[in-house]
Amino acid sequence: WLGVLERPLASPPRPESALVSVGPGSRKHPSGIQRAGMLHARKSGESVIQRWPYEAPPCAVRYCALCAYEGGSWSAWMGCSSSIQAALEGRLSGLLQHAVQVVAAGRTDAGVHAAAQAFHFDAAPTADASLIRRVLMHGLPSSLQVYRVGVAAAGFHARLSCLGKRYVYRLLVGAGALWELPFCWSVDGCQSLDVERMSAAATILQGEHDFRSFCRQETSGKSCADPRGPVRHLWRLQVLHDGQATSPGECVGTQRILVVAEGDRFLMHMARMIVGTLVQVGRGRLQVSDLAALLRRKQRSDQVVNAPARGLMLDRVFYAEQHEAVLDCSSPAPQATGLPGWPRVADFEIPSTLSLYATSANPEAQETDGVHVI
């Protein structure tokens, strides 16, 4: 009877430290990790009024995975309860019965899609990779699919081990099918873009440059807040088209263009701003020579246009051979970019002379890495 009398008659209030804000003036909700921690507390009879920081389970095994998602259905990769990261963490935490932290290769903006986003998480050694994949395939919204899960090789970190990324942007001029519209930028007007001029401008941006002119400017006035600096190596920037007539100003029925960008890292909105500026060149509003002047400016100007997020897709993430073998990144994903009527993206060999990004996951790098990187 003493135990019954000492038991609280109502559920205790949620601790403020276990809540996360989802926006100005909005209600606060626990994240996926915090919900799992509080659920475990209730089941084990422990006090719920405590903070549940993430801790890797004892003798944890690192798992790596590939997922695809339709970005228009999500707020972003991370940042609030409707993010992709929160959905994965909530589902994995419920399956594994302990708090799970998901770390991705890159943090895509709201509206950006992915065909092969890589991420990792730590779980108890008793977890089965094939079971995790099956549960995730059937327990997530249709706009998010996890299609590969495996035990990671030694030293793997989804973000710090990443050697580079490939982004693909779709441009549609003229009429297109309804299913295409959520995945491309339907450029206003029926006048075709000059693909030859766009390709010439893309050649200027290839290589290692200071890309401060093509990243979002901070409210503090800084054009780049990445602690690693604004220099990026863009080893591929290619403009592909479907073979339709592309003479400047010519009115066409439909013109489909792919802009393929591969590089070691990308600043925030860098890929979208490059595409938006190339479209300005294709329309004749900018000259090819203006691109070199924009690079030298090292600060964003009104000539740099930010393309809509819905046309951008993270197509592939590059890793060293031992990590590629587990993730099988080289094989086409079920959501590959080879859609009917669109040009296909051929694999492009990474230059052997490329100074690859450091793969050591040291604590200091984890604190500062990934700031404003998509």
**Annotated catalytic sites, by residue?**
109
Helix (H, G, I), strand (E, B) or coil at 209: strand
Enter the tokens of residue 33: 């990790």
Contact criterion met (CB below 8 Å) for 274 and 260: no
β 113-123/231-241 pair status? unpaired
Smallest Cα–Cα separation from 95: which of 127, 120, 63, 67?
127
Question: What phi-psi label fits residue 47: left (phi over 0), alpha (psi between -120 and 50 degrees) or beta?
Answer: beta
Strand partners, 237: 261
Q: Report DSSP state, residue 234.
A: E
β 61-69/144-151 pair status? antiparallel
What values do phi and psi take at 189, rounded to 5? Answer: 90, 170
Q: Report DSSP state, residue 16.
A: G
Enter the tokens of residue 191: 């006048």
Helices assigned H by DSSP within 76-154: 84-96, 129-139
CA–centroid distance for 199 within its chain? 25
CA distance 233 to 265: 7
Amino acid found at 154: A
CA distance 77 to 49: 29
